Structure 1
């Protein structure tokens, strides 16, 4: 199941938050769900420009009033942070842009690193009272994003999708689910149409991938999208996902 399908099947009116929106792959379909306000955060300047263009093109030439785009990163404090963008053989690898690592130590003959200072804020600082959906794609900074959202998650109980990869941050597939478990979320993954608790994740066979942008290697299957449901809603939500 992809993230759009997950959020669509569990759709509830309210605010939908897209962290790491990039080109709007989720932002655009989120913007078409009924009775929703969408907040999209994308700190990479070139990607942010494309995000704005995609939203405008998808809504008749202008970003609609119920969608707000932010050229900022999210984390666990307010301030400014360095976004590191690896450039492989002269080509920016935007899908690897990260505030969690600097890509030091790789082959300097092939990989350069563009460092961009970007604004940083927290989800809690947004003061949301109606957050129903949260998607996070932060290339290793997922823990900080969630730590900066602790009070909002307690208050609003949104459903969450989060990409977690050991290649971006060792130990993250342990730390992020543990943080969510402490907030009474059930963390799951889907594989070949079946749903499993995160405890069933075999990292040696399902989470093996090179951390080097110049090496394209990964396990099969490669499980990196995780779904988090408030514990008090988990049984009902899973039934709805399976039967819709």
Structure 2
């Protein structure tokens, strides 16, 4: 998700509102910020199971319920997990970090609460909380047709922890990748080895990643990161592209 340095005004407003109100507003408005979510039904066929790794307030969980028989949302922040569980009782909410091994991890929390920034086990300067760490494979999911990962720099461990599930079910993968957080090439190489080809949506259609200079684009659009969520909803352009769709091209 974009926006780890919100404006003071948006931080104060988000902190003052009831969590349920913030969650409902985020879920309703987020398709304006991410056309990948707005166009979900156009590129993801109906599937048995969809997985939302890094659910946040549940904007993707909301969309996935429309295209999947079962939705599993994975979110380590207790307040956010409660929000998703309360809004969608039919969704299986797993309060944990998806990683490459089971155990515990220290999760950095945004100082103003989840409505003012993002949490991560890879980086942060604020307070930390101990959370459960697990692998996607140990959840024993079946019929996975789509998986979205937004884990703030922990993509490689999360993917490796789901290798058996991904190689077996060959789901579409939507992964947030940002060069400012970590090099993206290792993730591209890993998924290429599993037979996946990456695409991006700079405008309204998916295009192969090889036709789009993602790193140069992200460097040129860094100003968008510091803009408040409200501003990005009102003025969704110019875009900051950070969601990559990986389609299985071959069986490996």
Q: How does the TM-score come out when normalised to structure 1? A: 0.75
The residue aligned with 1:222 is 240
1:142 equivalent in structure 2:
155
Report the counterpart of residue 59 of structure 1 in structure 2: none
1:5 and 2:16 correspond? no
Bigger fraction of residues in strand? 1
**Partner Cα distance (1:116, 1:167) in 2:** 24
Match of 1:190 among 167, 181, 201: 201
Kept in 1, the 8 Å contact 2:195–2:248? The answer is yes
Equivalent residue runs for 1:155-174 within 5 Å: 155-169=168-182, 171=183, 173-174=184-185
Would you say the 8 A contact 1:85–1:93 is kept in 2?
A: no
Q: Is it true that 1:231 corresponds to 2:249 in the alignment?
A: yes
Match of 1:46 among 79, 103, 107: 79
Asked if the contact 2:110–2:117 (Cα under 8 Å) also holds between the matched residues in 1, the reply is no
Q: Which structure has the higher relative contact order (CA within 8 Å, separation 6+)?
A: 2
Map residues 74-89 of structure 1 onto 2, 5 A cutoff: 74-87=98-111
Match of 1:24 among 58, 69, 76: 58
1:99 aligns with 2:121: yes
Supply the distance in 1 between the matched residues of 2:140 and 2:87 (Cα, whole angstroms): 27
Structure with greater proportional helix content: 2
| Aligned mates of 2:204, 2:166 — CA distance in 1 | 28
Structure 1 distance, partners of 2:238, 2:63, is: 28
Cα pair 2:109 2:118 within 8 Å, conserved: yes
Cα displacement string for residues 190-230 of structure 1 (whole angstroms, at most 9, x for unaligned residues): 1223433223342453112669x9x559x954210110111
Greater displacement, 119-128 / 8-17? 8-17
Q: Which runs of 5+ in 1 are unaligned?
A: 56-62, 104-112, 234-244
Alignment of 1:173-184 (within 5 A): 173-184=184-195
Structure 2 counterpart SS, 1:228: strand
Residue correspondences, number: 207
Gaps of 5+ in 2: 1-34, 229-236
Contact 1:3 1:161 (8 Å CA) reproduced: no
Q: State whether residues 74 and 97 of structure 2, in contact with CA within 8 Å, keep that contact through their aligned partners in structure 1.
A: yes
Instruction: Describe the shift of the 1:228–1:49 C-alpha distance in structure 2 as closer, same or farther (beyond 3 A).
Output: same
Q: Give the one of 109, 122, 135 matched to 2:135.
A: 122
Query: Counterparts of 2:41 and 2:250 in 1: how far apart (Å)?
Result: 18
